[in-house]
Every structure is written in C-alpha cells, then in structure tokens.
Amino acid sequence: MTDGILDRRAMLRHGGTGLAAAASVGVVGALAAKEAAAQSAPDSLLRTVLDRGRLLVGTGSTNAPWHFENEAGELVGMDIAMARILAKGLFDDETAVEFVQQDPAARIPNIATNKVDIVIQFMTITPGRAQLVAFTRPYYVEGIALLTRPDAEMKTADELAAGGSNTRVSILQNVDAEQNVHRVLPESQVLLIDTQANVIQALESGRADAAAVDLSTVRWLVKQTPDRYYDSGMRWFSMLYGAAVRQGDPDWLQFVNTTFDVAMFGHQNEIFDAAFVDFFGETIPQRKTGFPPI
C-alpha cells in the first residue's frame, strides 16, 4: 500500500506530464510494441499483425469520400485514413498497411476466412451484422441529407419545407425511400430514381429541388464544387459506421478501439482531423479537456 502511494506521489510531482516523466525515472515502465503483444492471448491477431510487420485492410476504391483513387492513383478517403491511424498505432508508421480491395458483399466473408485483419469500408453497424462480426467503436455518424443547388429558389431546409407540395425530392428507389423523405418533408413530391448518379442528375437538370443522399456525399460534393452544390442543412436518420473484425479476439478488438479513441478524442489526432477537412470540408471542434469525450 505504501509503495502504491509513493508511486502516485512521484507521478503527481511531474504535473501534467507525470506519466511520461515518471517513466523516465523508473516509476512507470514502458512496453515496446512486441513486448505489449506478448501480454495478449497467444492466438490473438494482435501478435500475428505485429510479427508480420504490416496491416491487411479490406476496403473499396470507388466510393468517395470513403475510399477512392486520387489523381496520382493513390488510395485515399476517410476509410483509408482510419486504416493509416491503425497502422500508425501498431508500427508508428502509417504506411505499414496493405489494402485488399473488395466488393462490399465480400466484407464479412473476407473477415471470416482470415483474408484481412480488419474491414474498414463504410460499414453500417447493425445488430444482424454484429451476429457475424465484431464491430469497433463507431468512427462516423452517417445520415440522410438534402443536397440542393446554390442558385435555386429553394436551397435551405426552411425554404424546402415552406415549399410544401411543390417541393420535389429525388431519392434512390427502395422500400423505405418515400417514407424516409416524408419524415422531414411530409407534403413533398418524392421522385424514386434507379441509381445514385441519376438521383443527383435529377437535381442538376431541375427535375428535383433537392436530392436525398448520404450526408457524407453532400459534404464531399459541396467541398469539391461549392458553385454547383449546396448543403441545405437538413439531415436525419442517423447510422453508425464502424470497422469490423473477427469475433472471439477481445485483445485485437480492444487494441483497435483504443487506437481509434486516441485518434478521435485524445492527443494523436492529426490524421483524423486532417481527413475530416480533406474529405468533408469540416474542422473537428476543439476537444474539451477535463470532460469525457462525446
């Protein structure tokens, strides 16, 4: 008991950097990555990944702003940034990652067959999927949002609502599409469209006053071409995006969650914050010290 009290007092004497400083004088020992992995279960993927020296990530390449190729042919996007955050946490090298490009239908099978260590591919967390894979903590709250045009008479949420039955909204055809639009614009005309590209084309051609698409799509298009697209400010129907790993490996899941937490709410947030600016055109609010993360 006395030793514990003395150790705590030693750390407190070093103020805000107590843990780091105390470690330098032997109060707290630091473990190297390989030594830390030795503390995990013998069959944990954490050991395998560290021994391999690179991370295998299943993802896509055709869905901006989540995963796509830039003009240089490099894979970029918010999902790619999350993968680099994890590689940085594992190896202190954000480039120590190999991307396995896959169809969305292969996300769960590739985890189950050990083809990848983790899937980071704008995967919506659902109870049904959670019976097949273990989800990480969410890293984005997706939703439906209304994309409009900056030169339109009705471009803001208030203007669209005031339009009543004259407001026309295009949306990708599915069983809940009309109901989803009427949640926020109950009197509007709903245009059910066959593809996402045509949903946006209906807006561009003037057939629709607004296009109901993913919030991330609205943010991306407005950032890329603000003279062509406008964020109406209306968004609803939240969905959680998370990464997925195999079930039954708590050490690996806990490591991923810890790394994501530190990147999103802690002190190693450079990659996460830069990605939000690059792909969503928004700056992460300053973290409020002294309070739990939200």
CATH architecture of 142-239: 3-Layer(aba) Sandwich (3.40)
- Evaluate if residue 17 carries a pLDDT over 80: no
Q: Do 132 and 124 form a contact (C-beta atoms < 8 A)?
A: no
State the average pLDDT over residues 179-185.
97
| Composition of the chain by helix, strand, coil, percent to 5 | 40, 20, 35
For residue 33, name the pLDDT band (cuts at 50, 70, 90). low
Cα gap 252→63, rounded to integer Å:
27
Neighbours of 6 (CB within 10 A): 11
Angle made by CA atoms 50, 52, 53, in degrees to the nearest 5:
65
> Taking the C-alpha atoms of 182, 129, 213 and 274 in order, what is their torsion angle to the nearest 10 degrees?
140
Q: Read off the pLDDT band of 28 (50, 70, 90).
A: very low
For residues 188 and 96, what is the distance between their CA atoms, to the nearest angstrom?
50
Of 186 and 35, more confident: 186
Tokens standing for 81? 């940034």
Mean pLDDT of the chain, nearest integer: 89
Place of tokens 């614009």: 185
Region 174-188: mean pLDDT is 97
> CA of 176: how far to CAs of 54, 182, 189, 281, in Å?
42, 10, 15, 29
Q: How far apart are CA 9 and CA 63, in angstroms?
A: 52
CATH 3.40.50.10470 fits 33-133+246-280, yes or no: no
> Do residues 261 and 137 lie in contact, with contact meaning Cβ atoms separated by under 8 Å?
yes
**Predicted pLDDT of residue 35:** 61
Residues of the chain with CATH 3.40.190.10: 33-133+246-280, 142-239
Q: Of residues 284 and 13, which shows the higher confidence score?
A: 284
Please report which confidence band the pLDDT of residue 275 belongs to, taking 50, 70 and 90 as the band edges: very high
Interatomic CA distance for residues 133 and 135, integer angstroms: 6
CA distances to 31, 50, 95, 96, 259 from 88, rounded to whole Å, are 16, 12, 8, 8, 9
